[in-house]
């Protein structure tokens, strides 16, 4: 079973991070409908996995890719006629999904948060977070990991915006270890 990571600082970027190594050896962590259902629970959006079919999985992946393109600023017209695939199309998609009712949260009798909803509600919650990030002041803090093959996006909240890796335990550690080995060879 694939393990998801939530280190981007935003649910939209975490959803985009379900594709690893986008430029080489691309690995999609959302291969089957149950993967997306499990992601919504692991992301803390829902307490129980929602029903997810093939069409739902495709919708989740479409949202994921629109968020990714908007976050990296590369959503350009891909077809000269009709403007299909433009940044405007990606914004409309994200806005449409965000306009749906989000996941419900309530404080139960035990003083704990309960999260519920269907997949549309979960995706709305993700899209709303993406909208707040992409349309807010933190948009300039979106960076891509400096790891050799990693393409994960994250919000750099470090002092002086000096963060270079999505995660120090994985990409940062690999880069530092490689640098150490290179220096020892000299």
Within 8 A by CB and 6+ apart from 66, the residues are: 75, 89, 90, 93, 94
Distance (Å, whole) CA 152 – CA 83: 28
Task: Tell me the three-class secondary structure of the chain, residue by residue.
Answer: CCCCCCCCCCHHHHHHCCEECCCCCCEECCCCHHHHHHHHHHCCCCCCCCCCCHHHHHHHHHHHHHHHHHHHCCCCCCCCCCCCCCHHHHHHHHHHHHHCCCCEEEECCCCCEEEECCHHHHHHHHHHHHHHHHCCHHHHHEEECCCCCCCCEEECCCHHHCCCCCCHHHHHHHHHHHHHHHHHHC
**Predicted confidence pLDDT, tens digits, the chain (186 residues):** 778 999 999 999 999 999 998 988 899 999 999 999 999 999 999 999 999 999 999 999 999 999 999 999 854 333 333 445 689 999 999 999 999 999 999 999 999 999 999 999 999 999 999 999 999 999 999 999 888 788 899 999 888 877 777 776 677 566 555 554 556 676
pLDDT of residue 2: 72
pLDDT of residue 178: 55
Let me know: does 127 contact 64? Beta carbons within 8 Å.
no
pLDDT of residue 11: 98
Distance (Å, whole) CA 171 – CA 186: 23
Distance (Å, whole) CA 102 – CA 128: 8
pLDDT of residue 82: 42
pLDDT of residue 174: 62
């Amino acid at each position: 079973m694939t393990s998801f990571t939530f280190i981007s600082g935003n649910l939209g970027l975490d959803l985009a991070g379900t594709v690893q190594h986008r430029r080489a050896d691309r690995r999609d962590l959302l291969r089957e409908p149950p993967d997306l259902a499990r992601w919504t629970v692991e992301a803390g959006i829902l307490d129980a996995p929602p029903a997810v079919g093939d069409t739902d999985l495709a919708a989740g992946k479409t949202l994921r890719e629109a968020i990714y393109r908007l976050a990296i600023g590369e959503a350009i017209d891909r077809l000269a006629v009709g403007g299909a695939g433009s940044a405007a199309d990606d914004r409309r998609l994200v806005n449409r999904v965000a306009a749906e009712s989000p996941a419900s949260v309530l404080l139960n009798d035990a003083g704990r948060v309960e999260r519920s909803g269907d997949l549309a509600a979960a995706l709305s919650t993700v899209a709303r977070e993406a909208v707040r990030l992409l349309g807010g002041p933190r948009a300039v803090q979106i960076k891509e990991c400096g790891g050799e093959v990693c393409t994960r996006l994250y919000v750099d909240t470090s002092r002086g915006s000096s963060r270079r890796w999505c995660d120090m335990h994985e990409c940062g550690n690999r880069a530092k270890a490689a640098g150490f080995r290179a220096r020892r060879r000299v």
